[in-house]
Structure 1
């Protein structure tokens, strides 16, 4: 790990002068982990958020992992409207999205681990949960964060309590449970880019035992470009329109028993995500036929003709201009306090989702590489928990878990590759079962230890059809893994808490996302001259086989808590080692351009700071993360961690002016920085997949009258209109440059509660 001087030099070299000055002069490095109310007392200002990161309520200081938590009622003021925005304010977290060109996809990367793909045979390395229910798919996960109770971002492997596919970390979204309070909240936004957003939240107690709440939301935003060769396109490039609803009912017949039944649904439509194509930089893409004659080279001018910009799209394929996603689910959470020491909890859920998306990879009017796509997934999960106290010094949480998912992806008749027909049909069923136990014991009033184990069994049945003459290839596999964790917490005399943790995690084996190697095996085995022999050769030497488990071990130490009456702080230092991590990398060799599937070892190490400083009517929240990722070299080639900046920073100062008569004006600004990074796991050739650093600034100026009847605010998001890349992918013929859909926006926000 680099020493302090080296880290300081790195900070100075990466930040703009203004941002560096702000970072150095701030009295604290801050995060989002602490609730604050402007008119509260100093003691109330530092009331720590209670989180459920360990699947039992704990004050955030007591959790022996790096954790950021966001109060749901304060998200709008910070400019956070969806999960992508959360990624701007957490150290060593970067959230992007471009899966199949969909505007609602979410690709979180924590400490160098994530997933760029979205196909059913791939699993993410960072898990997302809503009220304890795991969301298996990435498309459609960019949740609207209206009327959310809390968001928790857990960094580092979470294999003991959260199981597979959390080797990078986990994101928990906790919604508001029904209670006996009668309240109605209305929130609206009107802004540039034709922003129209409205949501209504109602909570009502029906009887002493029964209560419900419901939320209805509509969100619309205009696009950034036009489909210049598809005049009948329904939506513009990057346009979004989404409607969602959620209904919960809580039955609590006694103090010892409660049930919460929740149903939710959303439907989103819009235009293809902004992207462009760089052809001249690679120079091997060619077009056969048409007005240009045979075997004519494509150029950048075919993608962006004169008079247009890179946010316009020159595709001639109407099927890829629009995207959509629909999802619905139901969950039932039951809790029973057996006695004062033990509680049983059951979380059961069923969810279904489907989407339509796709890319025209060449980005031109010519029908070369276009991949309209449809996908769907159905999942069922059940978790049984038992938690409580073994004695006055020992508490625990234990559980059994079951998860099943069936899904498919389809590219078919309207897809093409190199101007010819393309077929990709993937199906997969995943079944996962697990048992876990985590125990915490207080050795003294100041010192505690904890440890956990989780045993998981995974089964997958998958099939692929990429060539009609070959037919469908089937395969099945199973895996098991034991993950563990040991940790210790110590409370110092000043109330600060120090911790040390060793934790492991794993990601289950996966099948290839695009097994087009089956076609080569088919022809190597005889092809059409002997179909039976060719099919036998494929099955004997099948490239559609699953990988081994990915494992991770994290070593972490940290300090967190309240330094004094004005200053809260959290610091974490970590070193995470990954084994059998698959990397799909593009490279140029003597024989030309190819894509290699490498299985490597990776080490991620770094430091993270979160804290809050508050004095009278002023507060400032800052987070900073620095990380170094080392990927094992293979055959003279060293991959790089994709979408992983080595430096992340955010600063959020806020001041409240108290007016005569009790009215108030709150002024807030938020700055977010992400350093340079690579858009895919390779830096070659010639660093053409490198993404520039980006600096985003939001502001929010809110007026609230003395009676708190309403709040009206002027807001600005990305006020300097920073345009940045979400990713870059080198296909060998050209570079896909995935653009942000995050242009500047200014508007008015109004909220009231009655």
Structure 2
């Protein structure tokens, strides 16, 4: 991923040359309608209808790189939350965060995205639920509850979605309330006391009025032991004592557990073909231990001569801080993450005439997240850092779309979008690693309670023109105006004036403001050579909004740290095919991204603080537009149904590129010669076969999945004032297996699954190394070990 290897001195906040020789029987051009007619004649590959261009279209008729997965395929792959989708989507990486980032997800598509949850920064990949924009990374690891389908759109979506998304978009679409009464109940039991419960019920209240309600509960023990160091090492040379309340086995907690519940209800009013109104409400609650982190790098010379590495699945992290500075007594920060959120939305579609349709999408969302951090991930807290975080978030959005037609050759959409969001980020930070051990007067300890306000206004339009029956030209434009302001509250823990040697206290009451606007556009040409083959070429732009530096150490860094949007010019060509009587679907795409004004963390704030380059005496954790680069890649997706009952799907992607510019202030952790994005290669393969058992015994379907991720950069470590060589996580291949029995009526199913079948040990791609220069430690979240589960599902 671009930016995955970015490090600062003080904050480390995180298929090639594929060709296809196709014997295409291309004679005279044929209509797109012919392809649809053929699709209606007993299709052999599943048809998914998408709405990426503001209207319903077959996936194979849409000139975009889209991975679309319906609910049945999600279930067959054992996928239950949004972060798992990336395993089968080319050049997509969705990583569950943890540690210093709470309940959030880093999302990257084609090397472009964002990892930092702070509301001062914009996501690089847009997440949408039923066309409603989800504005933050926090709380984005959503359960795939009662979905109809998932669409993963690769490339900038500046003219196509409710809020600009520079890297791409992930769109979740819930199952709509429909006619009739039906329901599903599902229960799962598995490794580490895993219990999943799901239920869905659909009701027809009266003619034209329907309701649907769904709920989920997930609970599972963690897989990394948090060990009380003093208990496990009673005679340690550092004199660290055990906690009297620690159990005899010295295990304080199990990190990486699950404890998630959610409910969603929808009411649909659909009295005729001209009115369709869906009102939805949802509630989510999560209360679990923090992510499964382990020590992944250590320098004992900085940790009192002790190597605090514990093992593959254990840690000595304590979330404990002794008294010192403003901490008049010792205390523990929580080793847990708690998230509670709810939202309501209204999606109203009105058919004004046969050729004119109005859609209004209104939404409100609110959440709160509380979590603690242990920055050094050791029990030796005299050198460490710890934090308490409490984030409140409110979001309102309104979108209007008017779809129309002019004759038989032109479809058009015009619309507008508005959102307003407010966050209040309370934090209490205890930072002891910046100064030498034993100088408590230089501890950096402060309390923040920062309000962050942002709004966005946009107007957009799209025209789809059919100059011939086989050719389509699509053009789109969007104007966006954005505002963001961040007020810094920096006080002593008792709410009084903060006095510190770094100048942090002088930030109190300062406000940083960003205002900007941007025009994006898209032009696409596609041509259907036959009912089986569609080719397209697209040029488009996108941007990630500007903002303000969220973690300044001085007032000047805050006021001068405002940065502009990063921008993208993207070029793409693609081919969509349905071959051999539609038993084989092969989609290919190639792209080139011209990526400018990239928002990078810098390690030298001299320019912001008013000093000569390299002479700033203050710490630096600012974000600036410090780089330019280019990326290019190839992608392939395959879906095959060679014989009745046998289904095969696969994907392969390759991406490469280079930096064109990196400002001097950002060249501590980065070099122009570094890869701009990794991994270069990703791939997946899945196969399943449904065998009928006969004698009314139903069917059995075994399935096997593989996913491959190439080696990936995790940044550099700094030692003695110098950054070391670039480091990598090695490549990893993961396998999942599942076998499902269904009765003859297919209303009862029993499944047995194994995830991470070969029990591979691996780190997730983002490493927290912000404190390595001072305390010699870095930690990573470790992937889940082999797990098994049994699921029983009953439909009514």
Secondary structure at the aligned position of 2:79 is classed as coil
User: Do the aligned partners of 1:729 and 1:735 also contact (CA within 8 Å) in 2?
Assistant: no
Secondary structure at the aligned position of 1:55 is classed as coil
User: Do the aligned partners of 1:500 and 1:556 also contact (CA within 8 Å) in 2?
Assistant: yes
Q: Does 1:553 align with 2:552?
A: no
C-alpha distance in 1 between matches for 2:129 and 2:738? 28
Q: 1:672 aligns with which of 700, 703, 707?
A: 707
| 1:264 alignment partner in structure 2 | 282
User: Do the aligned partners of 1:633 and 1:639 also contact (CA within 8 Å) in 2?
Assistant: no
User: Do the aligned partners of 1:336 and 1:344 also contact (CA within 8 Å) in 2?
Assistant: yes
| 1:17 alignment partner in structure 2 | none
C-alpha distance in 2 between matches for 1:665 and 1:278? 43
The range that moved more, 404-413 or 171-180, is 404-413
Change in CA separation of 1:580 and 1:459 when aligned onto 2, cut-off 3 Å: same
| 2:386 alignment partner in structure 1 | 370
Deviations 1:439-483 (A, max 9, x none): 101111111101000001101121123463322211222110000
User: Do the aligned partners of 2:659 and 2:676 also contact (CA within 8 Å) in 1?
Assistant: no
Q: Does 1:603 align with 2:645?
A: no
C-alpha distance in 2 between matches for 1:213 and 1:50? 21
| 2:736 alignment partner in structure 1 | 698
User: Do the aligned partners of 1:725 and 1:737 also contact (CA within 8 Å) in 2?
Assistant: no
Q: Structure 2-normalised TM-score?
A: 0.81
Matches within 5 A, 1:479-628: 479-493=516-530, 495-516=532-553, 518=554, 538=555, 542-543=558-559, 545-565=561-581, 566-584=583-601, 599-616=626-643, 617-628=645-656
User: Do the aligned partners of 1:243 and 1:267 also contact (CA within 8 Å) in 2?
Assistant: yes
Matches within 5 A, 1:208-247: 208-229=207-228, 236-247=254-265
Secondary structure at the aligned position of 1:679 is classed as strand
Deviations 1:11-35 (A, max 9, x none): 9xxxxxxxxxxx99xx9xxxxxxxx
User: Do the aligned partners of 1:157 and 1:167 also contact (CA within 8 Å) in 2?
Assistant: yes
| 2:660 alignment partner in structure 1 | 632
C-alpha distance in 2 between matches for 1:426 and 1:416? 22
C-alpha distance in 1 between matches for 2:782 and 2:50? 32
Matches within 5 A, 1:648-667: 648-662=682-696, 663-667=698-702
The range that moved more, 707-716 or 673-682, is 673-682
Q: Does 1:361 align with 2:379?
A: no
Deviations 1:466-516 (A, max 9, x none): 463322211222110000000011001352100000011111102113112
| 1:450 alignment partner in structure 2 | 474
Deviations 1:553-580 (A, max 9, x none): 1100000130222210110000011111
Deviations 1:672-722 (A, max 9, x none): 011111135999944464212111111110011112230111111111222
| 1:70 alignment partner in structure 2 | 69
Change in CA separation of 1:687 and 1:619 when aligned onto 2, cut-off 3 Å: farther
**Alpha-carbon offset, residue 355 of structure 1:** 0.7
Deviations 1:88-144 (A, max 9, x none): 111101111225446742111111111121112111100100001111111211111
Matches within 5 A, 1:104-503: 104-162=103-161, 164-229=163-228, 236-278=254-296, 280-281=298-299, 285=302, 297=304, 299-301=306-308, 303-304=309-310, 309-317=312-320, 318-367=332-381, 368-412=384-428, 418=434, 420-466=444-490, 468=498, 469-470=505-506, 471-493=508-530, 495-503=532-540
Secondary structure at the aligned position of 1:381 is classed as strand
User: Do the aligned partners of 2:317 and 2:374 also contact (CA within 8 Å) in 1?
Assistant: no
> Which runs of 5 or more residues in structure 2 are unaligned?
1-14, 24-38, 229-242, 321-331, 435-442, 492-497, 499-504, 605-612
C-alpha distance in 1 between matches for 2:177 and 2:314? 44
Secondary structure at the aligned position of 1:445 is classed as coil
| 2:326 alignment partner in structure 1 | none
C-alpha distance in 1 between matches for 2:530 and 2:559? 60
> Which runs of 5 or more residues in structure 1 are unaligned?
1-5, 12-22, 28-39, 287-296, 519-537
Deviations 1:208-244 (A, max 9, x none): 0210000011011110123223756985211110110
**Alpha-carbon offset, residue 310 of structure 1:** 4.4
User: Do the aligned partners of 1:484 and 1:503 also contact (CA within 8 Å) in 2?
Assistant: yes
Secondary structure at the aligned position of 1:350 is classed as strand
Q: Does 1:645 align with 2:679?
A: yes
C-alpha distance in 2 between matches for 1:420 and 1:549? 32
| 2:16 alignment partner in structure 1 | 7
Secondary structure at the aligned position of 1:75 is classed as helix
Aligned residues: 685
C-alpha distance in 2 between matches for 1:513 and 1:225? 31
User: Do the aligned partners of 1:343 and 1:386 also contact (CA within 8 Å) in 2?
Assistant: yes
The range that moved more, 113-122 or 338-347, is 113-122
**Alpha-carbon offset, residue 309 of structure 1:** 4.5
Change in CA separation of 1:680 and 1:132 when aligned onto 2, cut-off 3 Å: farther
User: Do the aligned partners of 2:102 and 2:371 also contact (CA within 8 Å) in 1?
Assistant: no
C-alpha distance in 1 between matches for 2:634 and 2:340? 39
**Alpha-carbon offset, residue 590 of structure 1:** 10
Deviations 1:336-392 (A, max 9, x none): 000110110000000001111232111112332112211121000000110121221
The range that moved more, 488-497 or 709-718, is 488-497
**Alpha-carbon offset, residue 422 of structure 1:** 3.8
Secondary structure at the aligned position of 2:43 is classed as helix
| 1:753 alignment partner in structure 2 | 795
User: Do the aligned partners of 1:183 and 1:202 also contact (CA within 8 Å) in 2?
Assistant: yes
Change in CA separation of 1:129 and 1:89 when aligned onto 2, cut-off 3 Å: same
C-alpha distance in 2 between matches for 1:144 and 1:109? 19
Deviations 1:61-93 (A, max 9, x none): 121111100101321211211111101111101
User: Do the aligned partners of 1:655 and 1:666 also contact (CA within 8 Å) in 2?
Assistant: yes
**Alpha-carbon offset, residue 656 of structure 1:** 1.5
User: Do the aligned partners of 1:245 and 1:266 also contact (CA within 8 Å) in 2?
Assistant: yes
User: Do the aligned partners of 1:320 and 1:360 also contact (CA within 8 Å) in 2?
Assistant: no
C-alpha distance in 2 between matches for 1:397 and 1:459? 26
User: Do the aligned partners of 1:432 and 1:458 also contact (CA within 8 Å) in 2?
Assistant: yes
C-alpha distance in 1 between matches for 2:178 and 2:390? 40
Deviations 1:29-63 (A, max 9, x none): xxxxxxxxxxx999333242100111211111121
C-alpha distance in 1 between matches for 2:675 and 2:55? 34
**Alpha-carbon offset, residue 659 of structure 1:** 1.3
Secondary structure at the aligned position of 2:481 is classed as strand
The range that moved more, 223-232 or 483-492, is 223-232
Secondary structure at the aligned position of 1:88 is classed as helix
User: Do the aligned partners of 2:124 and 2:165 also contact (CA within 8 Å) in 1?
Assistant: yes
Secondary structure at the aligned position of 1:172 is classed as strand
Change in CA separation of 1:596 and 1:477 when aligned onto 2, cut-off 3 Å: closer
C-alpha distance in 2 between matches for 1:56 and 1:234? 53
Deviations 1:269-302 (A, max 9, x none): 1111122335544x6745xxxxxxxxxx36433x
Deviations 1:599-630 (A, max 9, x none): 11121100000111112221210001000031
| 2:323 alignment partner in structure 1 | none
**Alpha-carbon offset, residue 316 of structure 1:** 4.3
| 1:721 alignment partner in structure 2 | 759
| 2:328 alignment partner in structure 1 | none
